[in-house]
């Protein structure tokens, strides 16, 4: 009791309030996180390592056209007047490239222009055997990768370069062309596939030619996907739900591409990916890649740098030339993409479609002879 009586602490009487006690001072606010300057470098280093193991199979490069504007060039050492050369392709981690041969709409001689571009690319491949290898089959694709070469596919060619002739399609195939763009501007692709257009699809399936639906009219792509025995691709499209552009794909088209085993190769072209103004960066490209993946599926999205331009042409910030693929991969890694997702995006999805188209051709060819049909036989007289 004495101890209690001597306790200096007192208590308030019943009904009285306890005297206020001083509260501890508030803790200082946490400082704003300081960005790690090395984080971006770490992602870029990871991106380069991933591309060494899983290189880029790219769907569209127009170097064949650009070379006509740069008659004196050295692509093996490096060419400052172009955005594509061997050193930059290798720095970008490119392991396979589709070299576009498409003649422009309204070209007075589309077949002649296509053959000129085909000759330029075949000459380029022959002049750089240490770096490039012509690819005609999925086996050639694998062989080129195993030998450290860039597998070089010829195509697409534009529909109007066929001259409404299946014989011309077969001639292109003999010259190594492996992709056909079903672009508007022919009597059999606009407004939709005619009976002759369906015959072109069947003959392409028999030959093992990939059908490119970038820029195709809705009636054409729907009928192509419904009738084709092989998956189709979009060689240079982005998501129309994010950016309206004639080459971009609607959600309906992306969903159909995914459902039928095809692939959409996302374009880097600034006019196809701009959303809020003329300043376009790698982030907008990544947004389109993720939108295509969301709609079509992770197994149905790939890359299309749309390089092959002269210096000074409009380019996306951060993706100015063919050495810049690691920048996009670093952006996706920063968004949480895994190694397996990156590998599917860069290499596996497009190369799977190449294999599937070839397999379909092998299954079809023994049961179907070369078609001798003409557009007049199937669609009637064609106007001038």
Q: Give per-residue pLDDT as tens, 285-311.
A: 999 999 999 999 999 999 999 999 998
How far, in Å, are 15, 66, 157, 206, 338 from residue 100 at the CA level?
91, 11, 7, 22, 30
Q: How far is CA 314 from CA 83, 103, 151, 194, in A?
A: 11, 20, 27, 37
CATH number for the domain whose boundaries are 57-371:
3.20.20.140
* Range in 6-10, 70-74, 142-146, 186-190 the model is least confident about: 6-10
pLDDT in tens, 241-277: 999 999 999 999 999 999 999 999 999 999 999 987 7
Chain centroid to CA 271: how far?
15
**Is residue 4 pLDDT above 90, yes or no?**
no
Is residue 231 within 8 A of residue 250, CB to CB? The reply is no
Task: Indicate the pLDDT class of residue 10, thresholds 50, 70 and 90.
Answer: very low
**Please, which residues have CB within 8 angstroms of residue 351's CB and are 6 or more apart in sequence?**
57, 96, 138, 141
Convert the pLDDT of each residue in 71-107 to its tens digit: 788 999 999 999 999 999 999 999 999 999 999 999 9
Give the pLDDT confidence of 149-191 residue by residue, as tens digits. 999 999 999 999 999 999 999 999 999 999 999 999 999 998 8
pLDDT at 35: 43
- Rounded to the nearest angstrom, the gap between the alpha carbon of residue 177 and the centroid of all alpha carbons in its chain is 19
13 falls in which pLDDT band (50, 70, 90)?
Answer: very low
C-beta atoms surrounding 372 within 10 Å:
8
Predicted pLDDT at 38: 55
Question: What sign results for the dihedral spanned by CA atoms 351, 89, 149, 155?
Answer: positive
pLDDT of residue 39: 61
- Please state, in angstroms and rounded to a whole number, the distance separating the CA atoms of residues 166 and 144: 30
Place of tokens 């008659």: 71
Query: By the 8 A CB rule, do 83 and 313 touch?
Result: yes
**Is residue 103 helix, strand or coil?**
coil
Distance from C-alpha of 149 to C-alpha of 132, rounded to nearest angstrom: 5
DSSP 80-101: TTBS--HHHHHHTTEEEEEE--
Four-point Cα dihedral 154, 158, 162, 168, nearest 10: 10
pLDDT reported for residue 382? 87
Q: Is the pLDDT of residue 16 over 50?
A: no
The torsion of the CA quartet 342, 335, 214, 361, rounded to 10 degrees, works out to 20
CB of 88 within 8 A of CB of 77?
Answer: no
Render pLDDT for 336-364 as a digit per residue (tens, 0 to 9). Answer: 999 999 999 999 999 999 999 999 999 99
pLDDT score of 276: 79
Q: Which residue has the tokens 């597998």?
A: 151
The DSSP code sequence of 179-226 is EEE--SSSTTTSSS--HHHHHHHHHHHHHTPEEE-TT--HHHHHHHHH
pLDDT in tens, 31-74: 544 445 456 689 999 999 999 999 999 999 999 999 988 878 89
pLDDT digits (tens, 9 = 90+) for 221-250: 999 999 999 999 999 999 999 999 999 999
- The answer to whether 181 and 220 have CB atoms below 8 angstroms apart is no
Triad 50, 54, 57: Cα angle to 5°? 130
What residues contact residue 179 under an 8 Å CB cut-off, 6+ apart? 98, 153, 154, 155, 156, 157, 209, 210, 211, 212, 233, 235
pLDDT for the residue numbered 37: 45
User: Residues of the chain with pLDDT > 70: what percent?
Assistant: 89
Distance CA(173)–CA(179), nearest Å, equals 9
Phi-psi region of 123 (alpha: psi -120 to 50; beta: other; left: phi over 0): alpha
Which residues touch 105 (CB under 8 Å, ≥6 apart)? Answer: 160, 183, 184, 185
Sort 139 into a burial class: Cβ within 10 Å, 0-12 / 13-18 / 19+.
exposed
pLDDT of residue 266: 98
* CA angle, 273 then 278 then 279, to 5°: 85
């Amino acid at each position: 009791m004495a101890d209690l009586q001597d306790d200096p602490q007192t208590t308030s009487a019943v009904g009285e309030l306890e005297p206020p006690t001083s509260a501890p001072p508030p803790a200082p606010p946490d400082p704003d996180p300081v960005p790690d300057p090395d984080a971006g470098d770490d992602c870029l280093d990871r991106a380069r390592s991933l591309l060494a193991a899983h290189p880029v199979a790219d769907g569209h490069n127009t170097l064949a056209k650009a070379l006509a504007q740069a008659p004196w060039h050295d692509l093996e050492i490096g060419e400052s007047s172009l955005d594509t050369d061997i050193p930059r392709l290798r720095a970008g981690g490119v392991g396979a490239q589709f070299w576009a041969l498409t003649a422009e709409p309204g070209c007075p001689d589309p077949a002649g222009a296509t053959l000129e571009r085909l000759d330029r690319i075949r000459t380029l491949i022959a002049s750089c055997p240490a770096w490039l290898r012509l690819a005609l089959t999925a086996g050639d694709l694998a062989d080129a990768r195993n030998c450290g070469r860039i597998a070089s596919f010829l195509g697409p060619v534009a529909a109007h370069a066929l001259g409404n002739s299946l014989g011309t399609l077969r001639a292109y195939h003999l010259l190594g062309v492996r992709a056909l763009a079903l672009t508007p501007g022919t009597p059999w692709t606009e407004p939709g596939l005619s009976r002759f257009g369906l015959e072109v699809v069947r003959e392409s399936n028999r030959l093992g030619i990939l059908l490119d639906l970038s820029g195709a009219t809705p009636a054409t792509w729907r009928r192509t996907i419904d009738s084709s025995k092989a998956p189709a691709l979009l060689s240079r499209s982005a998501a129309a739900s994010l950016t309206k552009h004639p080459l971009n794909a609607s959600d309906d088209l992306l969903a159909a591409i995914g459902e039928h085993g095809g692939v959409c190769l996302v374009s880097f072209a600034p006019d196809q990916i701009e959303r809020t103004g003329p300043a376009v960066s790698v982030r907008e490209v990544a947004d389109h890649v993720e939108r295509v993946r969301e709609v079509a599926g992770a197994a149905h999205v790939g890359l299309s740098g749309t390089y092959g331009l002269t210096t000074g042409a409009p380019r996306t910030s951060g993706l100015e030339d063919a050495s810049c693929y690691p920048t996009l991969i670093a952006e996706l890694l920063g968004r949480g993409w895994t190694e397996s997702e990156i590998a599917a995006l860069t290499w596996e999805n497009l190369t799977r479609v190449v294999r599937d188209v070839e397999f379909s051709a092998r299954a079809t060819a023994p049961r179907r002879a070369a078609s001798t049909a003409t557009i007049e036989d199937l669609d009637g007289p064609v106007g001038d």
